[in-house]
Amino acid sequence: MKHQKLVLSFVVLLYSSLFSLRAQCAHPDYDALITIYNALGGSQWNNTKGWKDGINGTNCDPCNGWAGIGCSNGRVSSFVLLGDSKAQGTIPEAIGDLDQLTILVLRSATIVGEIPKTIGNLTKLNLLNFADCNITGSIPNEIDNLKRVTTLNLSNTKISGPIPNQIGGMTNLIVLLLNNTNLSGSIPSELSKIFRLRKIDISYAQLSGTIPEEIGDINFLAEFIIHHNALSGVVPTSIVRLVNLKIMALNHNKISNPLPKEIFGLRNLTQLYLNDNDIKGQLPLDISFSDSLKVLDISNNQIVGTLPSNLFSKSNIQSINLSNNQLSGSIKIKDNNAINLKTLDLQNNKLSGPIPSNLPDLASITTINVNNNRLIGCVPTSYTKTCQPIDRINIKSGQNELIKINADLSQNPKLPFAGNLVPMCSGKLFDNQLNLTCDDGFVVTKDDQMNNDCRCIGKLDTCFFIIRDTFNQLVIDSMITTQTFTGAVTDTLFVDLTINGKNKLSFRCFTEQWGAFLVIETINPTDVIGYTYEILTDDGRILIYDQLQGVPIRQNLDFLEGKGAYTINFRDSNENIATSKKLILL
């Protein structure tokens, strides 16, 4: 019994001593830190230097070597727990008692729960970083009290709900990182009140609605990154006022046209991503691209029409991706200005005409992808550079380097081997492509092959067409023949239509794809000066628009998109339709 009384007395004395020591811990930040330590499983932290001494009362000053703590004027000014700290649990409301904090970084996947509203008490905070935590709930409205914060990072968390309008109260914010979250709702227009903002990243979230017009008021904005959301509507015209913008990533949304063409010419813009949206129609042919632009991606949309004429005119451009659209016309590279172009991706379009011979000659090119188009002709001998690695001077370092140019011309039926360069390279067939296998695209031909003039031709068993007047729908003429053609231009079957007694349309059928050639002739050439003709698809898209120069015009109709109806309009000098005819290819 006496022994038990002695043990009990010792325990009481020990706890009394510890309580006495703890009672002497008068540092103003001590209690809040101990509460945070217990809430976040401090006993399991990798580095508990100073903290355990604080718990037992032998080191009550957190400024005296406590791990992750920084101080200024005897008060805790920074608190940092990174992912390897093994911190776990919820952030307690006591965090708001550290009222002298300027830096708060808690980054651990095992930190859960919601952001306490007391976070609004940290009015001296400059940096708030809860990235990579498993925190949930919404961003508290009290965040507008954090008027000194320059960086807010809540990325890679599970926060949800809308971005509160109160965020506009963070008037000194420079970097806003809310990417990889469950945030929803619209982009608050109140962001425009934070005129110092230089970076906005709210990518990989669940935002909806439209981009607010007020976004153009954030004068210093350099990075606007909101890809992988469900944003819709148009790009606001105000965005062209963002003269400091360097990166604009609006891809993987539901953004539609029209696009303000001035965004392509923003003077500091280096990267523009508009891919995987709902952009339709034509790109303006007179787009002025920025001299700073390095990356242009408008792939996976529904863009029609031809490539902008100055697409390859800038020396800084490094990557162009317009793949998976409905672009037509030819690929024209007038000069070799694009000396830094490394990647060109135009696959899965309706581009026609010959392959540009100077693409492999561009000083930095490494990837050329034009597969699944309607390119025609022989493969230029310059593409021998794609057969094996070549020695080329690096224009930046000035040193020689061994590089491989990857070119994909496949699924272009009217090219030799349908654009497959493997047999071209292995057989060294670039210099003589006569009789190489191809497919002229006409279902009734067979044994197709390249001819002397680099056209793909084949034996034509049947050729027929019907021409209808769009006004009275009467069949003007139709012909069917079983004559076998060799593909020579002179071996043609044609029908002439007289228009207003002056203009004559001649539709000629021979062994070109879909068997169509358009020749426009006049009795008196002076009568048609100032006239234009246009060819439209059934849904009204213009495939060609050309002015008559008073001489016969011969137009290969390989650009037509397949069998079906095409309207041909003649317009006078006042742009009025003088005559309209419909061509139906069967």
* 581/94: higher pLDDT: 94
Does residue 402 share a domain with residue 469? no
Residue 481 pLDDT: 30
In a domain, 150, yes or no: no
Of 228-237, 274-283, 487-496, minimum mean pLDDT range? 487-496
d(CA 445, CA 463): 10
Residue 80 has pLDDT above 60, yes or no: yes
Residue pLDDT, tens place only, 25-37? 889 999 999 999 9
Assess whether 427 and 497 both reside in one domain: no
* pLDDT at site 566: 63
pLDDT of residue 575: 59
Domain-ending residue, one of 438, 470, 503? 438
The yes-or-no verdict on residue 53 having pLDDT over 70 is yes
Q: How far apart are CA 390 and CA 178, in angstroms?
A: 45
Backbone Cα Rg of the chain: 35
In a domain, 177, yes or no: no
3-state secondary structure 147-182: CCCCEEECCCCCCEEECCHHHHHCCCCCEEECCCCE
Give the helix/strand (H/E) hosting 30. helix 30-39
**Are 336 and 425 in the same domain?**
yes
Assign 235 a pLDDT band (cuts: 50, 70, 90): very high
At residue 543, the pLDDT reads 63
Contact 364, 395 (CB under 8 A): yes
Under the banding of pLDDT at 50, 70 and 90, the label for residue 135 is very high
Range of the domain at 356: 260-438
Residues 264 and 374 in one domain: yes
Q: Of the candidates 252, 280, 278, 247, which has an alpha carbon nearest to the alpha carbon of residue 263?
A: 247
* Residues 140-187: tens digit of each pLDDT: 999 999 999 999 999 999 999 999 999 999 999 999 999 999 999 999
- Do 532 and 401 share a structural domain? no
CA 297 → CA 250, 272, 274, 407, distances in Å? Answer: 10, 6, 6, 19
Phi and psi of 110, rounded to 5°?
-100, 10
Share of the chain above pLDDT 90, in %: 61
- Whether 160 is covered by a domain: the verdict is no
Are the beta carbons of 159 and 137 closer than 8 angstroms?
yes
Whether residues 475 and 423 fall in one domain:
no
* Number of domains forming the structure of the chain: 2
Q: Dig out the tokens for 190 from the structure.
A: 């109140």
Confidence of residue 336 (pLDDT cuts 50, 70, 90): confident
pLDDT-derived band of residue 441, with 50, 70 and 90 as boundaries? confident
Does residue 434 lie in a domain region? yes
pLDDT digits 0-9 by tens, 54-72 = 998 899 999 999 999 999 9
**Which of 135-149, 334-348, 509-523: highest mean pLDDT?**
135-149
Greatest distance between any 2 Cα atoms in the chain: 134
Starting at the edge strand found earlier in the chain, the sheet holding 182-185 runs 160-162, 182-185, 206-207
Same domain, 430 and 465: no
Residue 320 lies in a domain: yes
> What is the CATH classification number for the domain harbouring 480?
2.60.40
Instruction: Give the CATH number for residue 302.
Output: 3.80.10.10
Cis omega (within 30 of 0) for bond into 552: no
pLDDT band at 526 (very low <50, low <70, confident <90, very high): very low
The DSSP H or E segment spanning 206 is strand 206-207
Cα end-to-end distance, the chain, whole Å: 112
Average pLDDT on 211-220 reads 96
Model pTM score: 0.76
Residue 263 predicted with pLDDT over 90: yes
pLDDT on residue 581: 59
User: Is residue 35 one of the residues assigned to a domain?
Assistant: no
User: Is residue 542 domain-shared with residue 484, that is, in the same domain?
Assistant: yes
* Residue 514, domain member (yes or no): yes
Residues 531 and 423 in one domain: no
Phi, psi (degrees; rounded to nearest 5) at 240: -70, -10
Residue bearing tokens 């970083």: 129
- Please check whether residue 499 is in contact with residue 579, taking contact to mean a CB–CB distance below 8 angstroms: yes
Q: What is the pLDDT of residue 467?
A: 34
Distances (CA, A) of 315 to 312, 318, 336, 337: 8, 8, 9, 5
> How distant, in Å, are the alpha carbons of 123, 190, 194, 220, 231 from that of 214?
27, 8, 11, 13, 16
What is the length of the chain? 586
Does residue 283 carry a pLDDT above 90?
Answer: no
Residues 478 and 415 in one domain: no
pLDDT for 285? 75
Q: Are 379 and 433 in contact (CB under 8 A)?
A: yes
**Has residue 362 been placed in a domain?**
yes
pLDDT tens per residue across span 535-577 = 667 666 666 665 554 444 444 454 555 555 666 666 655 556 6
Q: Are 430 and 468 members of one domain?
A: no
User: Based on the domain organization, do 321 and 430 belong to the same domain?
Assistant: yes
Per-residue model confidence (pLDDT) at position 292? 96
Mean pLDDT of all residues in 494-521: 39
| Mean pLDDT for all residues in the chain | 81
